A and B are shown apart, each in its own frame.
Chain A
Amino acid sequence: MRATLCIVAVLIIFAAVPAGAADWPMWRCDARHGAATSQELGDDLALQWTLQLPPLKPAWPDEPRMRFDVAYEPVVAGQTLFVASPREDALLALDTRTARLKWRFVAEGPIRFAPAVWNGKVYFGSDDGCLYCLTAADGTLVWKYRAAPEDRLVLGNERLTSSWPVRGAPVVDKGRVYFAAGIWPFMGVFIHCLDAASGAVVWRNDSTGAVYFNQPHDSPAFSGVAPQGYCTIAGQVLLVPGGRSTPAGFNRDTGELTFFRIAENHWSGDYKVAANNAGFFNCGNLYQLTTGDLLGGISSRPNPNPFTPFVADPSLRISPDGNASVVTDDILCGIEKGEVVVRSMPQATMEKWEDSKGGKHTNLLVPVSAATGIQAERVWLSAAGKLVASAGGRILLIATGDGANASRTVWQAEVPGTIESVIAADGRLFVSTLEGEVHCFGEGPAQTRTVNMRRGPEALSGMSGQALARKIVKAAGVTEGYCLIVGADDAGLIANLAGSTSLRVVAVTPDETRATALRDALWETGLYGPRAAVLAGDLTSLRLPPYFANLIVVPGRSVAGLTAKPELLRSLFASVRPYGGVMALELEAAKHKAFENLVRASGLEGGQVERSGDLAVLRRPGALRGSDNWTHQYGSPANTVSSRDSLVKAPLGLLWFGGPSNLDVLPRHGHGPPEQIVDGRLFIEGPDGLRANDVYTGRELWKVALPEIGEYYDRTYHQPGANALGTNFVATPEAIYVVYQNRCLKLDPVTGVRKGEIVLPSEAADSDKLTGWGFIAVQGDTIVAGASPLFFGGKGKPGDSDNWDATSSRRIVVLDRQSGKPRWQVEAKCGFRHNAICLSRDKLFCIDRLPDPIVQAMQRRGEEPTSTPSLLALDLQTGRLAWRADAEVFGTWLGYSAERDILLQAGRASRDILSDEPADRLIAYRGATGEKLWEMNEKYAGPPIILGDTIITQTISLAAPGRALSLLTGKALQRTNPITGEQAPWLYARNYGCNTVIASANLITFRSAAAGYFDLRSDGGTGNLGGFKSGCTSNLIVANGVLNAPDYTRTCTCSYQNQTSLAFVHDPSVEAWAFNLMELGDAPIKRVGLNFGAPGDRLGPGGTLWLDWPSVGGPSPKVEVSCTPGTPTQFRHHASWVKAGELPWVAASGLLGVEKIVVRVGSAGSPMRSFTVRLYFVEPEGAAAGERVFDVSVQGQPVCTRLDVAAEAGGSARSLVKEAHGVRASETLELALSAAPGARVPRTVLCGLEIIEE
């Protein structure tokens, strides 16, 4: 029986491979990525050559599900080996026989995926946002297609690249190349199918970045596909991998999204996909090809456990690097229980089964056709009947057995390093290792030829620019961070600036030829890529990110151009990093004064000019105007839970992404202290240390080891009590104060170096364990310590559910900040709850009260607390009692408004919080006197946010929205309904999220399934920043002019597509969609916009709230609309698709073939009113002028006769607005559209309808 199976297996393997193919033209050989080739391999292979390339630093070093660029991933066509270099942005073409470099092509960003070769051409995508097509023979550029909508640059994974990197790697099939650009749904995602020969667009799907759909916690958000991985073609389906999520499926002919099911597969997904006729394989699961249905696992027998799909062996992972290492219609081959096993696909059957709870599951039962008995760690490929595997640092060639012979290893060789990729082509095996080497094994005697492409800094010595580089560094005093050279023409200057400092230099030169020359020269230094890169372009064509450059150098030849155009200088200065960034201009002394005047006239915020030898130095020393720091757990020692930063506002666009690893950040469920942000530095805690990152680039500035500092927060489970402990560090511009091992360390915020420490005075009553710090805050020249934290002996550990240990302190000690000497202290009668200690400029407010459950526990035992609760106001300098309240002391929280001198007593009842937090009472006091100002006794969630004269309560869900109260009166605030003009309670809400809401002047941030926000500035609803999630600690903090989103999700394995740090700045060009909770009731409509086919709501200019119709993007105010035909055809593009005209985000979507729209604007019997009606059009299908012509009437009156959108707008993708005034309507407003007789495109089009009462 076994022998029969072996024969079958061999036959199957032979049958599985396409005859005659000897290339390995794309990742895993073909468009289905099966890793099977017809290439025959001899049994006497020997090492032919070794190619040494620089080792790679992957984009996501700590993300095991996105290891696509950890090692070189070559492909072969003919006798050419193509190797993409993510490090040096290059595609190398080498002779397969000798490793001789045939040609090299440098892109403008990292090339992180293997290229694809087809028909004498090679295709690859780059982080620069482009897809390239070169001739395979000589590397000549055939065409280049910019997939990104514009040249908007960001720092992404430590490189200056496009905001829309091409990380949906190209796959070529049947003359078409498919790929995707953009990894952040909120920025837009662009899936493409191009004609491979010409680069002409066959289709382009740009609508999948903003879809309101369920995220991995079964709660919806505006998010979308976030392509990272190798696109795959199987049958009629294009599969686009989604980073850490399961792939999305598209119709390969039309580009229509057919499935994307990350909520159902919430723990699954990675960048690798392979397919056969049974389905597609991804991250250990098998999915139905056309629907994305989870088919379960592959097994030999039914599976009783839904969480372990593979009963045969839990380690059986049917992903392209697991048990289905080779995937064809005939075989699956991989490692099972350490053995190379082949399974027969033609004999596979699908079995359905139910678990003990009635859950329905399927398994693909695939019989084993060959159990080879050969131990290995991984199977890499099938090559004409032989299998290539690896084990113990050796590469193995295995002939599977037949009836007469057992399977055997016919050849093996040792490979130095860790094998990461193996391909077979041109009669050879090419083995790529983690160490950056590619080894070639072929027939013939062994060779020792080594081709070293690791360049060294020795080339620097002969280069020019050394003296100028030295002068610049000396004058600027900048040696770290990012450096931009504008108008660079000297490779020596670039190389010497990079080589003599730690700067990462990016040079911009307007001339493409010059750029190529500079790249060639720099490549010789080994610096090209991460340390020195060259972009072709100029300041008018490139959109540089703001704030990123520690140093901008303007060589002499470029100065004139810059100083002649103040707008260019302003634009460049915007990229200088606040808090110390420098521009150095090679400027003659005689022109210095004029430059000073120019700077003054240009209004460069905070710019300071000085002279240093041949250089004019323009510094940006201070903060951004309108920005603010975030210095304590709740923003400030006043516990406002808000920052005053007014720079950050919606819409928000990327500033940078990537940043340092999350491995030294606390886990997400522990509710540890949030990051604190001061003067351009972000400080974040880990289990064993503290780290500082640059706010504007994400760059790690320093890290100090403080073993077990995060002890109380270092849990992988939810800790409802952890944020009642309080933060254990406070960041100020002068020092970081860190509570550590019963003392307070003072760290230098610039370097992390310890500058001193402060020890609390001990008390006779203290045991050794209780002398420590329980709380810390800094105000002016004082440090406030909660001393001797109280332990109540609760269950679990401090921070756990129902554990109040260390949430209060027995003493408050106020110390001099400079000397560390105690000034005064106060002893609690019960305990000072940490969240109920807050500071004004001159007072310390605190609540002395035991937690209710502790009091109840005492009462159960017949004991009574010895003291009653009190609220104290103490002079911060002396400790003298200013006032006290002994009645109505219920709070677990105090917050203070310095502007209004109002103190709030409240609770923090919210999600994932201690159970004693009050939720139905708020009292406001005058801070100076203790006079009770008002009281509110209604249900709310806390902690309350103090923002100007407003209190914003927390939202927990859509069903439990947050409210706004007047800080002055406690009365609920109203908003004007933008549609009816009527007053209604101000509410906001979110979807699922375990953190609490925090605020800044223009924005409330939180988690709402994905990262979320509410736009306060325009009262524009709840939106998302899709593609990642925020932490259970509130980590979306607005400070220093940036929305900071450091990765605080460590240990989360849910399939949010990206798990990384990032930062945002205001960017009006970014799409922003929201949902709104407003009710309309029967009130007549005064102003509304209907945005047909849009993904969500958006508040527009003039105060029009544009509603998505049909409503797909969460709750919207219900405007009654009817349409004929009932379900018209819709189209939708990213707003960037619209090239010109008003409101591109309205014109980007619409209805086709619509004949009538009726909008209810009033109730029955409403009086007749006059309206202005604005109609928005676009030509969406490329119809030429004269081809699509139609008439439009409103209320029976013609508005447009023979409207030709393409003709009037000047072409396709340009918005056109038509307006009618004095339109009379009482109950309904009717719009009629009809195609003109004889029109070549007989379908009407309508994008938006704006109705404004006159």
Chain B
Amino acid sequence: MPRTPNATVPIALLSLLLTLGQIAPLAACDIPVCEYALRYWSRSDYTVYYIHDGTEAPVDAEVNALLRHIAEGKENYANLRFVSVNATLGQASLTPEVRYVLESNREIDKPRHLLISPKGHTVFSGRLAVNDIQALISSPKTAILADMLSRGAHGVVLLLTDSDEAQNAAARETAREVVDATRGTEARMGLVEVSRQDPRELWLVRQLLAVETDLVGIRGPMVFGVYGRCHVTEPYLGKGISATNLAALAKFMNGPCTCDIKDANLGVDLISDWVWEAHASGTGAPPRPTEPGGYVTFGE
């Protein structure tokens, strides 16, 4: 039965705006989802909002400078934006996006960093330190995922383990079965395991648990599909980690691109500093389908 609403249901304004700016064909096509996503989907940004009362705290100057540096894309390709928000300004001076963020986070202490996913979900609320940033934009497992996808994996089954080893083992076995079943077929699937307790993957785990709004409170292993440029699907969990469901996931990632626009597809991008364009061009993917005449996605 339907669930009651969650208190935090922020808007994925940024994601939407980015989607509007992207051109994609309307009609179904025969390019596999994984290939299309790797080649054509530009990544959606996560946003770090630094919310303050008029001036940025000197103690945050270094981390904010680093975030700005990354956001400006001067040295790497992390899909991260940085927005400094003076919460004392009148409503009229703020963009709708910032107004919404402030409205959704009225009670927080300031100054504070808010990391919001492209879906509008809160990944982190607190003070970021300089040491957090490298881990945020690239973790060991994120790099593995990106490398696998860049080297031609059609999809990766990502198992997020928890403290109950028996549950983990069962989930692992199901995932392996599904991945193994693809061997010898055209599908090239990978399997990556991430522990919730792995401190090196703290930021990846936070992103995964923000894919849906209630995941933080759910224990046990979860299985995500990862495809394209580290685009991660909503997770399977509990009895949902079944061979049938995971096979369907594999089929989706290898199946024809049936969706019109990225925003209509499952999941959300992960943060990474991987230079996707360099890899995407070498996939040998067929050229982008031509657009139907008269159809233009164009943000007003």
Contact = CB atoms under 8 A, between A and B. Distances in A.
Interface stretch (B196-204, B237-245, B275-283): B237-245
Contacts of A992: 294-296, 298
A217 B298 contact: yes
A217 B20 CA distance: 12
Interface stretch (B9-17, B63-71, B126-134, B180-188): B9-17
A718 B16 contact: yes
B2 A791 contact: yes
Given A861-B240, A862-B237, A793 B5 contact: yes
B11 A797 contact: yes
B16 A801 contact: yes
Interface in A533-592: none
A1140 interface: no
B202 to A, nearest CB: 24
A1130 interface: no
B93 interface: no
A794 interface: yes
Given A791-B4, A850-B2, A956 B296 contact: no
Nearest to B291: A959
B237 A860 contact: yes
A452 interface: no
A991 interface: yes
A217 B239 contact: no
Given A793-B213, A802-B264, A862-B238, A959 B2 contact: no
A956 B5 contact: no
Interface string A692-730: 000000000000000000000001111000000000000
Tell me which of B13, B240, B300 has the highest count of chain A C-beta atoms within 10 A of its own C-beta.
Answer: B300
A792 B295 contact: no
Contact of A991 (B238, B294, B300): B294
Contacts of B213: 793, 795
Interface string A891-934: 00000000000000000000100010000000000000000000
A1049 to B, nearest CB: 9
Given A801-B16, A861-B236, A959-B295, A795 B119 contact: yes
A107 to B, nearest CB: 38
B7 to A, nearest CB: 10
Interface string B249-270: 0000000000100011000000
B292 A958 contact: yes
B234 interface: yes
A801 B298 contact: no
Contacts, number: 124
A219 interface: yes
A857 interface: yes
A1253 interface: no
Given A795-B213, A915-B259, A959-B27, A862 B9 contact: no
Contact of A958 (B121, B293, B298): B293
Contacts of B236: 860-862
Contacts of A991: 294
B264 A862 contact: no
Contact of A802 (B5, B17, B263): B263
A852 interface: no
A469 B6 CA distance: 64
Interface in A853-893: 854, 857, 859-863, 865-866
A369 to B, nearest CB: 34
Interface size, A (range): 35 or more
A957 B240 contact: no
Prevailing SS type, chain A contact patch: loop
A669 interface: yes
A5 to B, nearest CB: 35
B21 interface: no
Interface string B1-45: 111111001111100110010000011000000000000000000
B227 to A, nearest CB: 16
A1052 interface: yes
B4 A793 contact: yes
B75 interface: no
Interface in A198-225: 217-219
Interface string B209-245: 0000110000000000000000000111111111001
A672 interface: no
B111 interface: no
Interface in A963-1004: 989-992
A219 B294 contact: yes
Given A716-B96, A792-B3, A956 B295 contact: yes
Nearest to B263: A801
Contacts of A797: 9, 11
A800 interface: yes
A218 B295 CA distance: 9
A36 B259 CA distance: 59
Contacts of A792: 2-3, 5
A701 B13 CA distance: 36
A217 B120 CA distance: 28
Q: Which of B6, B263, B298 has the most CB of A within 10 A?
A: B298
Interface string A438-464: 000000000000000000000000000
Contacts of A796: 9-12, 120
Contacts of B298: 217-218, 992
27 contacts: A219-B294, A717-B17, A717-B20, A767-B4, A791-B3, A791-B5, A793-B214, A796-B11, A800-B11, A802-B263, A831-B2, A850-B2, A861-B239, A862-B238, A862-B239, A863-B239, A863-B240, A866-B1, A956-B26, A957-B294, A958-B293, A959-B26, A959-B293, A960-B26, A960-B27, A989-B294, A1052-B300
Interface of A: 217-219, 668-669, 715-718, 767, 769, 790-797, 800-803, 805, 831, 850, 854, 857, 859-863, 865-866, 911, 915, 956-960, 989-992, 1052-1054
Interface of B: 1-6, 9-13, 16-17, 20, 26-27, 96, 119-121, 213-214, 234-242, 245, 259, 263-264, 292-296, 298, 300
Given A796-B9, A957-B292, A960-B292, 19 more contacts: A217-B296, A217-B298, A669-B300, A791-B3, A793-B6, A794-B9, A795-B213, A797-B9, A801-B16, A805-B9, A854-B2, A860-B235, A861-B239, A862-B237, A863-B239, A957-B293, A959-B295, A989-B294, A992-B295
| A-B CB proximity, top 8 nearest | A862-B239, A959-B292, A791-B5, A958-B294, A862-B240, A915-B264, A957-B295, A862-B238
